[in-house]
Structure formats: C-alpha cells, structure tokens
Amino acid sequence: MIDLLLNSAPAWALTHAAPLMIMVPLMLGAILALVPSGRIAWIVSIVATLSSFLLSLILLGIVQTNGTGIVSYAIGNWAPPLGIELRVDALNAMILLLVASIGLLASIFSWPTVESEVRKEKTSLFYSAFLLCFGGLCGVAITGDAFNLFVFLEVSSISTYVLVALGAGRDRRALPAAFNYLIMGTIGATFFIIGVGFLYAATGTLNMADIAEKLPAVSGSRTVQAGFAFIVVGLGLKAAMWPLHQWLPNAYSYGPSFVSMFLSATTTKVALYALIRFLFSVFGPEFSFEIASFTYLFMPLGIAAMVACSFQAVFQNDVRRVLAYSSVAQVGYMILGLSLGTADGLSAGLFYLLNHAMIKGTLFMAVAGVVLTYKGTTIRDFAGLGRSAPWTMTAFAIAALSLIGMPLTAGFQSKLQLGYALFEHGWWWAVLLVVFSSALAVIYMGRILEAVFFQPPANPRKTRKEAPIVMLVPLWVMALANIYFGITTKLPLDLARDAAAAVFGMGAGR
Amino acid sequence: MSAMLAALNPGWLLIFVGVVAMFLPARRIRQSLAIGAPLVGILMLALADQNVNHLTASVLGLDLVLYRVDGLSFVFGLAFLIAALLNAIYAWHTDDRIQDGMALAYGGAAIAAAFCGDLMTLFVFWEITAVTSVFMVLGAGTRASYFASMRYLGMQILSGVLLLAGIAYVYHDTGDIGLQVFEDLAQPGAMLIFIAFGIKAAFPFLHNWLQDSYSKASVVGAVVLSAFTTKLAVYAFARMFPGQDSLIWIGAIMTCFPVFFAVIENDLRKVLAYSTNNQIGFMICAIGVGTPLAMNGAVAHAFADIMFKGLLFMSMGAVLYRTGTTKASELGGLFRSMPWTTLFCLVGALSISAMPLFSAFVTKSMILSAVAHAGLPIIWLMLMFASAGVLEHSGIKIPYFAFFGHDSGKRVKEAPFNMLLAMGMAAFISIAIGIPALIPGLGYEWLYNLLPYRQEAMTYQPFTFDHVLTQMQLLVLATFAFVLLKRFNIYPPEKRGEILDTDWAYRRVGFSMANWAGTVWGKVGPAMTSVFFKLSSRAYDRIEATFSPRGELARGGLTGAMAVWTAALLGLVLLLAFISVR
C-alpha cells in the first residue's frame, strides 16, 4: 500500500511531504474559524486529517526506502543549523503515522458526539481548535528544532485547553479542569523552554541534531545538567509521568468525550515521544547523569505509576476517570520500558505506546458512544448496556480485555515484549510488578464489564439504542485492529524496532 | 473445485457441517448432511496428495501445519471417515439434534487431528474430541450417564492439559512444535505427552473411564465412541513413539488383564469395552516393537478394529434399542426374533476372534509374526493367551448370551432397517478385508496396499499353512474349553453384580479420604477464613484510604500540589545529576 502511494503521489507531495503534513491542518484550522457551519467544518477536518494521514504514510515509505532513513527538510531553504529543520526518521515517522491515523478515525467519528455536546455556534470553532491541536501535535513530532518544538507544543497545548473547556456545555466542571490543565501545562512548557535555554547557552545552537553533536564536549558543565533536569521535568509533566499527572484525570473526564478520546490516544504519546527524542537522540544513554536518572528516577516513577494509579483506578466510580487513571498507569509501563536504557527496552516501550493508543482510543470511543445515547458515565449508568447497545459494548469489551492483556489481543503482545525486555535486563521483579498491575487492571476493567454485561440496567426505560453508524465503524476498525495486531505483531513491532534502532544509531533494523 | 477439495482438511468439513447440523431443526436434512459430509470427506481424501503440507498457518510465531496426509494418517483418516458414515446411517432412526451434530463434529475433530502436522494443532483437535464426545455419553439422558460423562470429561481434559504441558516443555527445549518421534521418555516433555496419550488409549490403571462411559452411553453414542477416541491415541503413539520399548510391555499387559474382567462381566456393552482395551493392547504392543511389519500390523489392526468393534457395538446397540437392556442375565434366545442382527453380530464376533477369512486374522497375524520375529517369546505367549481370551469373551460370550443360551422369552422386533444396513456394511468390510485376494488388489491386499510400509506389507503372506493352523488350533481349543466349562457349570454364570476394577482405589479409598479431608476443612476452614478476612479487610481499608477519590492521594489543592511535585522532581533530577557527575 505504501509502495502504491509512493508511486502514485505527485512529485511535489514527495518533496514537500514534511511541511505539508503540518501546514494543511494549521491553515485549514485557521480558515475553519470563519466557517459558519459545523457540518462543513467536520468535512474539512476529515479532509485535513486524511491528507496528513496519506502524507504520514508517504513519509514513512520514504524513510523506510531511501537508505539513510532520514528525511530532512529545510524550511525556506535556510540550511539546518541556523534555519528551522523538519527532520523525520523511523521514530517520528511512526509517531506521525499514529497521530495521523488516530486523528483521521477520530474526526470521522466526531460529528454526532460533537453535535450533541458542544454548543451549536461553537462547533466550527471547536473543529478549528481540533485541527490546530492536531497540526501542533504533528509539528512536535516532525520538527528537528528544539525551540520550534516548544512552539508546536504550545500550539497543541493551548488549543487543547480550549477543547477541554468547550466541554462546559455538557459538564461545568470542564472549566476548572481546563484551567488547572492550563496552569500545569504552562508550568511544564516553561520548564521545557528554560531547559532549552540552558542547552542553547551551553552549545550555541537550537537544532537538535546539532545540539547532540556538540553536547559531549560540554557534558561536564552544570548548565547542561540543569538543562537536562528542566527538560525532563517539563516533558514529563506533558507526558503525565507520575506524580505530574494530576491535570490528566480531570481533563479527560470533564472534556467533551471526543476530546478525551483524541487526547488519550495522542497528546501524552507525543509528549512521550519528545521526551524519548531528548533522552535518546539529543542526550544519550552515555551521559552518566542520564543513566542515573534512568535507574533512580524513571524506573521508580514508572513503577509507582503502574501500581498507584491502577489502585486509584480501582476506586473510581466514573468510567472515564477509571480510564484516565489507567492511562497514567500505562504511561508508567512505557516509562519503565524506556528506563531500561537499551534498544530492546525502548522498542518495547514504543510498541506499548502504539498498542495503548489503539486500546485507549477504542475504549474512549465506546464511552463517547454511550455518552451520546445514554448521557451518564458512572459505572452504574453502564449497567445492562451489554443488552441495549451490544455492538458498542462488545468493542468496549474487546479493548478492555486488550488493556488487561489477554492473549490474542494487542495488549498482551505489548506486555509480552515489555516482559521480554525486562527479563533480558535482569529485572525479573519488575515483571512481577507488571503482572500485579495487570491483575489490578482485571479488577478495574472487570468492575465495568461486570456492570455492562451482568447487571440489570439501572434505568429500565433504556431501550435498545446503539451509537450511530458513523461512530460504530471507526470504533470497530480500532477494536478489530486490537485483535489483528494481537495475532500478527509484525507491522507495529517492526515500526517500534526500527524506531528504537534509529535513535540508537544502528541504522534501520531491516 | 477439485484443487480446493484436495487442499482442505476433511475433518474441518465434518466439524463445520456438524455445528451447522446442530442448529437444523429439519431431521432428514440434518441426517442427510451427516451422511453426505463423510462421503465428500472420502472424496477429498482421495484427491489429496500425500506427504505435502496442504495448509499451513503461522499464529503467535508458531508454524502450524493444518493439513498433511501421509501413509500413516491416511489409513486412520479413511477409517474414521468410514466410521463417521456408518454412524450416521446407524443414527438415521433417532431424532436428536445435539447427538447428530456432535457425533459428526467429534469424528471431524478426530480426522482433523490425524491430518495435522504439528503438536499445537493436534492439541486443539485433541480437546475438541474431548468436548464433543462427552455428548455421546450425556445423550443417554440417565443419571448414571451424567456422572459417567463428568468422569469421562475430567479424564479427557486431564489428558489435554498434560498434552499441552508436554508441548510447552518440548517447545521450550527444542523450539520445535512439529510432530516428532520421541526417543527418550526421561525427558519431562516426552513423558507428559506419553501419559496424555496413555489416558486416551486407556492404559492399565488409566482405563476405568472407558468401561464406565461406553456402557452408559446412548445406543448411538457407544458406537460413535468406540470408533474415534482410543484409535486417535493409537495413531498418536504410532506417530510419536514408534519402537518405544516400554510400550511392548504396557501393550501386552493391556491385552491380558481385561480378559478376566470381561469373562465375569454381566453387562455385554461393558464386555465390549473391556475387549476394546484388549484390542488396543495388541496395537500398542506392536507399536512398541516398532519394526515395519509391526507398524503395519498395528495400523491394519486399528483399521479392522474400527470396523468390527463398531459392528459389535452396533449389534449390542440394536439389542439395547429393542429390549432396553444389555445385561447377559436378562437376555438370551434373541436369534429367533432378531435373525439379521444375530448374523451380523456373529460376523463381528468371528472377526474379532481372528477367524481365518475374517478381518482380524490378516491383521493380527502380522502383529504376532512381528513379535515372534523380534524374539520376544513371553510377549508372544501373552498375546496368544489374550487371543484365546478374546474368543472367549467377545467371540463366544457376546453372541451366546445375547442371542442363544437360555431363552429369556423376549420376543421383539428385528432392528430398524438403517441399523441393519449400517451393520451389514460394517460386516461386509470386515469380511472383504479378511478374504484372500481372489481378484488381485481386492481382499486383504486392498488393505495392505494402504499401509505405511507398503513394500513390507505386499510381501507378507497371511494365509500360510502355519498361520492358519496355529490360529485354528487356538480357536478350536478355546471353543472346546468354553463348551467343557459350560457343560460342567464352571463357567462364570451370567449374574448381576459390580466388578471391582482398579478404580476402586480412588472410588472408595480416595473418596473416603477426600470426605475426611472435607470434614476437617469444614472445621479449620472457617477459622482461617475469618482470620484472612480480618487481615484483608484491614489491608483494603488502608488501600482505600490512600487511593480512593476521597483518599490521601486526591487530597490538597490540585494545582498547588502539582507545582510542589514539579519542584520536588526538578530538585531530584538536579541532585542526581550533581551526584553522578563529579
């Protein structure tokens, strides 16, 4: 399919794929603010995400076939160290594909839920903010310039605050949630830019590849170490690394349900990508302070997230909060994977990241379907839905089993890879903790599934009512993907391995 | 079309049609499907090339071979397909959706298992045979059959679990899940697989499920059961443990011990169940010898056994269907009212007794020759003794007590036509493969032609003077012994009663111990539970106080707490950097 795309795409699309990937959604996003009709805005957002999706496939194809494994694009023809460079290798090609495909499915599925949850005069603004957020996320993933990364991070974050706040139409608590998110997100972004400033002071450049070249010479300097600390904490906050995750549960559970679906599958993943980029490409596991932070910072925090947030998820009564806390716990697994500091660990973490985006996307999509037809989101509201909305709830159940890690689902494969990497490294006790945390996942997802399939409906007047077909199709695409990638793992696993190999500078794995 | 037929495992067809048939309310359509599917299956098998992997798949990194035919599996597959066909004809007069569908699926699973090329697929179909065959026992609908079926299911599932464990071991040790010959039983993987097969083959001390379930199954169920499960185990042994020395002794003991039980048993279907043990013993022993002649003998005997054992179970099923019992003490003199059934039963009895011109003679003589050539005199004598025993309990006792003997006074109708047809076909096959090849390529040569070691089979001569003479001496003297014993009333009379088999050990002793343990646990358990509950509820309280929405972790101003955490984390990273870089 990628070959076909590469052969049939016009030449300008091949050479300018990288900038188009972000320009199309950003431009269309700006124009959408002026469009009166929400429905047109919806169509436009599908077009924009579809174009980004195709472009991301093209970029992936070029990266896989062009030999160097890198696509470098100098914006405005200003040569890289001075000008802004867009730089795609196997790692961000994978992230771009993830963001674009989730974005595409999300925007297809969005209309019914946005229409019911967002005030009518604001729908086109909502889509405008969505496209800005989407473009910003793509920008974070594609840029090769540290300051530019900050700019795109802020573009995506600010539009995210808006998106969350628009949930006020359904739930007033969205406003304080968005405000909290704004304050904390700003703290994170500020930390990050301070860190970038330190690096600039030490190396005199903002291009990430250039920084990486110049860093070893000045690695003893306190400036670099301070820069490292600020960047790690800043991006850690954006990636919802425990204990900097507290913006996340409220933002996910009170925002519009479409937003929680899109955010859960993309924002933390992109922030995690940025963290990985800085940890492994800009800095590297050869810096002693980074090794120390792997062992004494990331590993304990990852494990704490896995255990503590799973426990918190067990006690939540709102399905979306259960999922939100579980997201933080899953970020813990990924952090644990990358804290190994090896290519195996990183590829396990990235593989986990891909699969988790798929799982959480499915779960939140199903929840959005329920919110649309039945309003409530507490576990009690979900009682008996297995009978009244079997299609939606079966997809939910598949993703829930995948989250738990049942064999023949994607979630199982990602836990398996993580377990292999941990064993390889001799951290067998961490495997036990992973299993323990999965057992907690059995409890918190089991509570929901039990209510859905085995309890009588709380409100007997609820009749048989499924989500509309526009929502069911993307939902089932994602649910079946969970099963498909649980049986044959070649595609995502190759992506993750190539990505890990790329940042470890070993060339593409194939 | 024919290419597709040739590349698809016929077992799958049967399973699929069986599942569909289960939901078909129209009785005749369902039964026509059940007859048609094995016919199509035989066609598919005839079209399929041998020694080619027709269908492969890769799941979870395991390379599965879903359809592969070779000389060994061909014979078993063909026999299973014929048996499925006969069973379907035999079941024509019944109207039981579950039984029709499950019987077909059960046969299909056995066929699919015989034609798979790796351990994992074998395991899957192994389990499907277990689950589907339970319905054959349950189908009788009596309380006794319910308990027997649960015991049966337990044993079959145990076999499956052991098999899976063995496969896991083997995979771990060799990284290969292809079907392979295991030489060394000391390896835990091989041992586990050996025991798993042993349960299905009803090895001594693992055999009690067989007598219990076959005799309590429904009329059709017992016929279906007799064809597949144990023969599948024989196939598996022939595939993976040929020439395994311990099998020689296990097989020889298997042939001998059921003789005693069978002679005194009153329930004629149970007698047949014991004689199943005995016949399997011949095959297992031959597999243990492992020479080409012995392997040919084992495979050929399995083929013949599926036919004549099916025939005997069918005739007893017909008796049960018409009179409502198979107890020897309540039967007798039925030859007047069921002449055809009597005739077919006699054909079956002569076949199982290895009378020359009947099927077992040409197959069993291969086994006996192989044992003799291998220089195992004690084993040979044991097998001879068992052969005499077979004649005693299956060849004479079954027809004598059911159809002749003292007249029970029962005057019933002849068995339904479909039963007679099925019996007639089985009887025809039993005779056809037993007679000399008057026309080249037919008679016993037809069967020999199919055997895995074709070269050896075609040079073997069953109808030599000494073979016939030895066998006739054996048969005549054994018959003479029966007549004498009967004349002087020493032969164990047909009496009601329960025979204590080895399962007494766990049925009585084991049960009492479990009972006692249960009583003790009833006292100790509650005390422990209350302690455990106290501890766990305290732990739960602590966890909830920490993690729940109103717990410790959720307390405090959200933004303020986060800012503090951010600062603390920054401090931590700085400190780490400070310490690690000196």
Mean pLDDT for B126-146 is: 86
Which spans in B437-510 are helix H? 444-450, 454-459, 465-487, 504
Which spans in A380-489 are helix H? 385-388, 390-404, 410-424, 428-454, 469-487
Domain ranges for chain B? 242-497, 502-547, 558-582
Mean pLDDT for A17-25 is: 88
Cα A486 to Cα A358: distance, rounded to the nearest angstrom: 11
* Residue-level length of chain B: 582
B-chain residue closest to A487, CA distance? B60
Domain ranges for chain A? 285-510
Please check the confidence at residue A506 and state whether its pLDDT lies above 60. Answer: no
Question: A297 at the B interface (CB within 8 A)?
Answer: yes
Cα B207 to Cα B199: distance, rounded to the nearest angstrom: 7
Contacts of B573 in chain A (CB under 8 A): 228-229, 232-233, 293, 297
Among A232, A247, A315, beta carbon nearest to B544: A315
The pLDDT score that the predictor gives to residue A509 is 35
Please check the confidence at residue A480 and state whether its pLDDT lies above 60. Answer: yes
Question: A410 at the B interface (CB within 8 A)?
Answer: no
Name which of B397, B324, B425 is nearest B89 in CA terms: B425
**Band of the pLDDT at A510, cuts 50, 70, 90?**
very low
The pLDDT score that the predictor gives to residue B211 is 83
Cβ-based contacts under 8 A for chains A and B:
87
**Band of the pLDDT at B110, cuts 50, 70, 90?**
very high
State pLDDT tens for residues B519-542.
Answer: 877 778 778 888 888 888 888 888
Please check the confidence at residue B551 and state whether its pLDDT lies above 80. Answer: no
Cα B11 to Cα B8: distance, rounded to the nearest angstrom: 9
- CA-CA distances (angstroms) from residue B352 to A38, B60, B393? 83, 46, 10
Question: A444 at the B interface (CB within 8 A)?
Answer: no
Q: pTM score, two decimals?
A: 0.62
The pLDDT score that the predictor gives to residue B582 is 62
B-chain residue closest to A318, CA distance? B549
Name which of A203, A200, A199, A165 is nearest A182 in CA terms: A165
Q: What is the DSSP letter of A308?
A: I
Lowest mean pLDDT among A504-508, B151-155, B499-503, B575-579: A504-508
Q: Contact B563/A314, CB-based, under 8 Å?
A: no
Cα A239 to Cα A270: distance, rounded to the nearest angstrom: 8
> CB-based burial of residue B131 (10 Å sphere; 0-12 exposed, 13-18 middle, 19+ buried)?
middle
State pLDDT tens for residues B178-204.
Answer: 888 888 888 888 889 999 999 988 888
Q: Contact B574/A225, CB-based, under 8 Å?
A: yes
The pLDDT score that the predictor gives to residue B185 is 81
Residue identified by tokens 């042939």 is B255
**Band of the pLDDT at A190, cuts 50, 70, 90?**
very high
Asked whether the beta carbons of A37 and A95 are under 8 A apart, the reply is no
Contacts of A220 in chain B (CB under 8 A): 581
Coil, strand or helix: which one is A408?
coil
Which spans in B119-244 are helix H? 119-138, 143-174, 188-200, 208-216, 219-240
**Band of the pLDDT at A464, cuts 50, 70, 90?**
low
Asked whether the beta carbons of A70 and A87 are under 8 A apart, the reply is yes
Kindly report the three-state secondary structure assignment for every residue of A48-113. HHHHHHHHHHHHHHHHHHCCCCCEEEEHHHCCCCCCCEEEECHHHHHHHHHHHHHHHHHHHHHHHH
Coil, strand or helix: which one is B139?
coil
State pLDDT tens for residues A79-120.
Answer: 777 888 888 888 888 899 999 999 998 888 888 888 888 888
The pLDDT score that the predictor gives to residue B467 is 82
Question: B564 at the A interface (CB within 8 A)?
Answer: no
The pLDDT score that the predictor gives to residue A507 is 40
Dihedral angle sign, alpha carbons of residues B101, B104, B106, B108 = negative
Which two structure tokens, joined as six digits, stand for A294? 């792997």
Which two structure tokens, joined as six digits, stand for A186? 């700003």
State pLDDT tens for residues A306-354.
Answer: 988 888 888 888 888 899 999 999 999 999 988 888 888 888 999 999 8
Mutate to test the interface with B, among A173, A191, A233, A254 (most CBs of B within 10 A): A233
Dihedral angle sign, alpha carbons of residues B543, B547, B551, B552 = positive
The ipTM, to two decimals, is: 0.77
